Chains A and B, each alone.
Chain A
Amino acid sequence: MFKRSALFFVICLLPACKQGTMEFDLDKAVSIAQKARQANRSIEEPEEIRMGSGIAANLLGTSPLLADDKAQQYINQVGRWVSLHTERPDLPWKFGILASTDVNAFATPGGMIFITRGLLQKLNNESELAGVLAHEMVHVLRKHHLAALQKEARLGIASDLLGEALKDNNSQVLEKAIKAGTEVYARGLDKEDEFEADRMGIVIATRAGYDPYGLPAVLQMLETGSAQDSSLALMFKTHPAPRDRLNLLDRAMGTRFDAYSAPTQTDKRFNSEVSQYL
C-alpha cells in the first residue's frame, strides 16, 4: 500500500516538472510504471523478436542476402541444428549469409543470425561454421544486445520502461529502439559479453556434435589479419583482440575437449555445399 502511494506521489509530480515541455498522459504513465515494476525491466519474447526483426531489416538494408538459395538453406540447417542445443530451442531461429565481402557475423535479438560471405569464404569446415553461429547465438541467449540497448541514454525513455513501452505497440518507441539497436552494431558489445559468447559457443557447438576447436580455429585465422585490412575493420573495432580471446579460451578449455571430434561427413558436406558458391 505504501509503495503504491509513493508511486502515485512520484507520478503526480512528473507532469509538474514537465509542464509546458511535452504532453503527458498520466493514465498511461501510471499503467506503464505499474507494469514495469511487475515486468522487472525485462523485454519479453514477442517484443524481443519484433525489435530484432527491425534490426535485421536494417542490417539487410546495408548488405542484402547472398543470392544463393542452396547456400542459404545449408547454413539454416547447420544453424537450426546447433540452436537445438541451446536453452532457447524454440525461438524462431533464422540464419542468413550476407552478400558483403566484409569479414563479420551478427546476431539480432530474437534469433536472427548473419554471417558475411567474406567470413564464410575463410572458413574450412562445418565445425568452424557451427562455432561462429554458436558464438552469435549466445548473444541472443544472454540478451547481450538488449543489455547494451538498455544502457543507452539516448533512447529518451527510461531503460526499465522500454519493455513495457514496446508491449504497448508504441510504434515511435519501437522505431527508436530499432534505430538505437542498430547503432549498437557499429559500437560493439561489452568485451565480457564477447568472451562469454566464445566460452558458451564452443560448448553449444560441441553439444551439437561438432569439433570444439572450430571457433578457436576461426580466431587463429582472424589473428593473422590486420586491423588495417578494411574488410576486418569493423570486426576488429567491435571485438576484443583474437589473441586475448584465444588466451581466455585456452584457459577455459584446458584438456577437457581433447576427446571430441566432428564426423568426417560434415567436412565433405561443407566443401560441396559452400565452397563452390563463394
Chain B
Amino acid sequence: MKLIFGLFTLFWLATPACAEQTAYAVRSTEIKQQPYSDAATVARLNENASVSIVSRQGGWVRISSRAGNGWVKMLSLRGGSTATRRGDSGLQNLFNIGRTGSSGITVATGVRGLSEEDLKHAQPDPHELEKLQNYAVNKARAEKFAREAKLKSLPLDYLPSGGKP
C-alpha cells in the first residue's frame, strides 16, 4: 500500500516537471538557421509536426524537432499538442519563456474580483478612481520615456480586415 502511495506521489510530483514546452506546425514551414526569412534553410517542418520551444525572438521561435533544430515563424505554430490541460494548473506558460525569475510565481495574497457576478453587482469606488486619475502622465513625459529606451515612431497603415488567404 505504501509502495503504491509512494509511486503515486512520485508520479504526481514528476508530472509538472515533464510538462514540455510543445507546439505544432499549422502548415508546412522551413526551419531556418537564423531568425530571418533569408537565412539558410535547415530542414522542412511538416504540417502538424510537434516541436519543442526553446526561445522566442520577435516573430520567430527557436525550436527543436525530429526534422531539425532552428528558427520558424511564430505564427506557423500553435500552442500545445494533443495534450489537453484541465483545472487550475492549466496555464502552463508554454510560451512564457525568456523572462528570468518570473515563471511559476504564486501570489500568496490575491484579490480575485471581476467575475461575471461581481460585474453585475458592481459598486463604484470613487477613491480608487481618483488614484487612477493621479497616475496619468502627459505627452511630454511619455515621449521622454520612449526616448530613454530608444523607441521610435514609425508610420504604418492599419491592415485590411480580410487579410491574405
Contact = CB atoms under 8 A, between A and B. Distances in A.
A128 to B, nearest CB: 9
B75 A60 contact: no
Contacts of B43: none
Interface in B119-165: 119-120, 122-126, 128-129, 131-133, 135-139, 141-143, 145-146, 148-165
A96 B88 contact: no
Contacts of A266: 149, 151
Interface of A: 53-54, 56-65, 69, 72-73, 76-78, 80-81, 83-85, 89, 92-96, 98-104, 112, 116-118, 121-126, 182-183, 185-186, 195-196, 199-200, 202-203, 206-213, 216-217, 220-221, 223-226, 228-234, 237, 243, 246-255, 257-258, 260-263, 265-266, 269, 271, 275, 278
Contacts, number: 281
10 contacts: A57-B125, A62-B114, A81-B145, A81-B151, A123-B99, A124-B102, A211-B58, A220-B78, A224-B90, A247-B26
Interface string B69-99: 0000011111110001111111111111111
A19 B90 CA distance: 58
Nearest to B149: A265
Interface stretch (B8-16, B44-52, B103-111): B103-111
Given A64-B128, A212-B59, A254-B163, A224 B156 contact: no
A7 B15 CA distance: 71
Size class of the contact patch on chain B = 35 or more
Given A62-B122, A63-B111, A221-B94, A77 B75 contact: no
B151 A210 contact: yes
Q: Which secondary structure dominates where chain B touches chain A?
A: loop
Given A234-B115, A263-B151, A101 B107 contact: yes
B6 interface: no
Contacts of A208: 146, 151, 153
B145 A58 contact: no
A224 to B, nearest CB: 4
Contacts of B115: 102, 233-234
A56 B132 contact: yes
B115 to A, nearest CB: 6
